[in-house]
């Protein structure tokens, strides 16, 4: 039987609920969510995977920090759910990510090509936990803040109807732009999308 632990928190003068999935797997950092307002079908949802470099070290080599902040800004204003998953390095872990960066810098490859050269899958992330958490919140249809069609498909497969709402960065730095270009090559809709309303 899965459940969750729920309690109140506050950020930028606004109250929200923290929800941590308790699914009996004894993971150190299970899937969690910040919930603003009362979640209802059609509400805004961001599913964000951990990125130490972007979120904590404030690296601009990727757009993770920007996406996280932008999503939170929109969700705080309009209500919704930010799901956070402990899937560092596109699910391959921090060491794989560091090796990928090193190889990229040595050989001028993008991070996806580096992963492939090192024998890692380009993307090992799973969104089944995120879907389980959203279902616990009573959601069966969401507007997903993402540029990644694979995330939309993964939710649909898990039984949650998802409509893609793109996050478009207006003035990315040069390093971020390189990363975005590589992501776009690998199926993300990034440089030519609509802005979220």
**Total of chain residues touching Zn ion, rule CB under 5 A:** 4
Please report how close the Cβ of residue 40 comes to Zn ion at its closest, in angstroms.
Answer: 30
**Which of 21, 34, 35, 64: binder of Zn ion (CB under 5 A)?**
64
One of 46, 50, 90, 125 is an active-site residue; which one? Answer: 125
Give the binding range for Zn ion (CB under 5 A) out of 30-38, 55-63, 167-175, 184-192. Answer: 55-63
Long-range pairs, 134-138, Cβ under 8 A, ≥24: 134/45, 134/81, 134/83, 134/160, 135/159, 135/160, 136/2, 136/3, 136/4, 136/19, 136/21, 137/19, 137/33, 137/35, 137/39, 137/81, 138/39, 138/40
Question: Which pair of structure tokens corresponds to residue 69?
Answer: 């902040």
Whether 8 is catalytic = no
Whether 125 is catalytic = yes
Does 68 participate in binding Zn ion (rule CB under 5 A)?
no
Does 54 participate in binding Zn ion (rule CB under 5 A)?
yes
CB of 54 or CB of 91, closer to Zn ion: 54
Distances (CA, A) of 124 to 22, 96, 172: 22, 11, 26
Q: Given the rule CB under 5 A, which residues bind Zn ion? A: 51, 54, 62, 64
Report the catalytic residues: 123, 125
């Amino acid at each position: 039987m899965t459940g969750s632990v729920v309690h109140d928190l506050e950020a930028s003068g606004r109250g929200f609920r923290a929800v941590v999935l308790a699914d009996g797997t004894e993971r150190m950092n299970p899937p969690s969510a910040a919930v603003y307002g009362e979640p209802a079908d059609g509400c805004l949802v961001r599913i964000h995977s951990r990125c130490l470099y972007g979120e904590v070290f404030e690296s601009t080599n990727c757009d993770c920090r920007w996406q996280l902040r932008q999503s939170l800004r929109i969700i705080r204003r309009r209500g919704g759910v930010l799901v956070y998953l402990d899937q560092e390095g596109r699910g391959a872990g921090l060491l794989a990510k560091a090796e990928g960066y090193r190889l990229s810098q040595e050989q001028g490859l993008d991070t996806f090509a580096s992963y492939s050269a090192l024998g890692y899958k380009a993307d090992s992330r799973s969104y089944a936990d995120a879907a389980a958490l959203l279902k616990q919140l009573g959601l069966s249809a969401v507007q997903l803040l993402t540029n990644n069609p694979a995330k939309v498909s993964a939710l649909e497969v898990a039984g949650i109807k998802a409509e893609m709402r793109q996050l478009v960065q207006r003035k990315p730095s040069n390093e971020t732009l390189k990363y975005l270009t590589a992501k776009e090559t690998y199926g993300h809709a990034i440089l030519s999308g609509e802005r979220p309303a």
